[in-house]
Amino acid sequence: MFGPYCEQKTWSIGGVEIGGLPGERPTVLISSIFFAGHRIVSDPVNGLFDKAKAKALLDRESEVSSDTGIPRFIDVIGDTPRALISYIEFVASNSSSPILVDSPMQSTRLAVIRHFAGSEVMPRLIYNAIAEDHTEEELNCLRNCGMKSSVILAFSTKAIRPEAKIRLLTGDLLPAAERAGIKNILIDTGVTDIPSVGWTSLAINEVKKRLGYPAGCAPANAIYKWSNMKAKGTQAFQSASAALMSMPRMMGADFLFYGSIQNAPWVYPALATIDGLLAYNGRFTGISVKSKEHPLYKVFS
């Protein structure tokens, strides 16, 4: 299941390095903020929210990120251009982390990209995402605005198995990203439910072995619908969720969408532990960590 790997591609986005062989660099954890139903949002149309609570969430995640050695991206989600611009401006002013531009509406995402084109924030932005339903208008907008980083969502009802995802990527999505001028490609192999995390993890490993791109997934898409585990209480839910998120990482995932930013205190230590183990194993397989800030030194010291 593990390797051999082709030459790995690594990117630096907003000062955060991502990609490489498992054990070289820590997982990048991606939180979500201002999502539908997030209680800190009072007006999702105009982008009004409790700034004190939002800053507290960002600061707490920043602290646990520093403590564990796990870097972060922040997935900022908005329904309208006005709201999403407001959210991104706030996050950009209160953190130095890369920011994902996310909305259920393609038109909203593109309006926001146009707004920030040429700004000092632009190099920190990651488009989320180029998917099976991409349009030429979308690709042209990304290229014309100078967007260099994007998630590529390798998900389709016709491409569930790992081999089918590779064909979807090589036959459609990667050429689309090239037309859009994307340089920093992050491949999300897609999660639909709890059991799908297994096949998704296999797909991540195939992407790493055969294509070399940084790859990951969003266990959060399934975890927070895991009603029977939620019914067992907070401790059972958190421990089972941590185990679930560990599987794609063990299969080579470079990034994971873990859901609401409020869950940072229990998610980061779990992934830092896995990262430390992978890095320690690397001492016996010729893979060395790339920074003294790695969880190997933060968690195991």
pLDDT score of 300: 81
Q: Is residue 213 part of a domain?
A: yes
Residue 136: give the domain boundaries.
Answer: 10-299
pLDDT score of 283: 82
Domain count, the chain: 1
Q: Is residue 287 part of a domain?
A: yes
Q: Is residue 2 part of a domain?
A: no
Q: What is the pLDDT of residues 18-75, one digit of tens each?
A: 999 999 999 999 999 999 999 999 999 999 999 999 999 999 999 999 999 999 999 9
Q: What is the pLDDT of residues 238-269, one digit of tens each?
A: 999 999 999 999 999 999 999 999 999 999 99
Give one DSSP letter per residue of the chain, joined into a string: ------PPPEEEETTEEEESSBTTBPPEEEEEES-TT-TTEEETTTTEE-HHHHHHHHHHHHHHHHHHT--EEEEEE-SSHHHHHHHHHHHHHS--S-EEEE-S-HHHHHHHHHHHTTSTTGGGEEEEEE-TT--HHHHHHHHHHT--EEEEE--BTTB-SHHHHHHHIIIIIHHHHHHTT--EEEEE----STTHHHHHHHHHHHHHHHT---EEE-THHHHTT-HHHHTT-HHHHHHHHHHHHHHHHHTT-SEEEEEEGGGHHHHHHHHHHHHHHHHHHHTTTT---S-TTSHHHHH--
Tell me, what CATH number does 40's domain have?
3.20.20.20
Q: Is residue 233 part of a domain?
A: yes
pLDDT score of 282: 86
What's this model's pTM, rounded to 2 decimal places?
0.97
Q: Is residue 283 part of a domain?
A: yes
Q: Is residue 206 part of a domain?
A: yes
pLDDT score of 301: 73
Query: Which residues of the chain, if any, have pLDDT below 50?
Result: 1
Q: Is residue 3 part of a domain?
A: no
